Every structure is written in structure tokens, then in C-alpha cells.
């Protein structure tokens, strides 16, 4: 289904995740972050977002544990940056599909 985010019409699934990574941009990320109660996006957020997009492009499976071992953030920092579902929220903001392990 279509949704307008930051003045751009994008394709999202029923949970609000972008279905086409190429439609993503930083303005869309900031708007989704505001919707999710995260932000304003700082350097720490952007490091996680860029890392998630790189890993998704490689086809890597994303988990909280792999994020904690990434060297990008510790698990605690991930929870601090994206409270209330850090991997779900960071993935949505990054414009990638919801990780398989997330409910």
C-alpha cells in the first residue's frame, strides 16, 4: 500500500516497513523516526542506520546479538538509541524489511 512520508509517496507493507529500499532517503528516515518516537536522529542513530542498510544489501541476517557484536554499537547503546524495540524501530527507520527474529 502507498503512504506519504516526508512529502514522498512510498510503498509500505501492513506494518509500515518500506517494501522498496530504493525509495528511502534521509528525510524519510527522520519522518519515520519521529513517528516511532525516536530522535532527533544523531550520529549514533545514523551509524546504526547505515550499518543496517549495508548488511541488508549483503543479505546478512540481522539480530540484536549481531548488532552488539558489530563494533557499531553495544546492545545497551542500541536500546538507548531506539527504545521500545531497537531492531524493529531501527530497521523501519533504515527503510529495510523487518528482521525475521522480530515479533
| 33 lies in some domain | yes
Torsion of CA 93, 97, 70, 41, to 10 degrees: 0
| 50 lies in some domain | yes
Residues 6+ positions from 12 with CB-CB distance below 8 Å: 1, 2, 3, 18, 19
| 102 lies in some domain | no
| 26 lies in some domain | yes
| 99 lies in some domain | no
Could you give the number of structural domains in the chain?
1
Give me the active site residues, please: 102
| 100 lies in some domain | no
| 47 lies in some domain | yes
Can you give the pTM of this predicted structure?
A: 0.93
Closest CA to 99 of 39, 15, 36: 15
Q: Give the model's pLDDT for residue 99.
A: 80
Closest CA to 67 of 84, 57, 17, 50: 50
Q: Give the model's pLDDT for residue 98.
A: 84
Task: Give the Cα separation of 11 and 21 in Å (integer).
Answer: 10
* Domain around 18: 2-94
The parts of the chain modelled with pLDDT lower than 70 are 100-103
| 42 lies in some domain | yes
Amino acid at each position: 500500500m502507498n503512504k506519504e512520508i516526508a512529502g514522498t509517496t512510498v510503498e509500505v507493507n501492513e506494518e509500515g516497513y518500506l517494501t522498496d529500499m530504493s525509495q528511502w532517503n534521509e528525510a524519510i528516515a527522520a519522518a519515520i523516526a519521529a513517528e516511532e518516537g525516536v530522535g532527533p536522529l544523531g550520529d549514533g542513530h545514523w551509524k546504526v542506520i547505515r550499518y543496517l542498510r549495508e548488511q541488508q544489501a549483503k543479505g546478512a541476517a540481522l539480530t540484536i546479538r549481531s548488532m552488539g557484536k558489530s563494533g557499531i554499537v553495544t546492545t545497551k547503546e542500541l536500546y538507548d538509541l531506539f527504545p521500545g524495540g531497537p531492531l524493529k524501530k531501527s530497521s523501519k527507520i533504515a527503510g529495510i524489511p523487518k528482521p525475521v527474529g522480530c515479533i
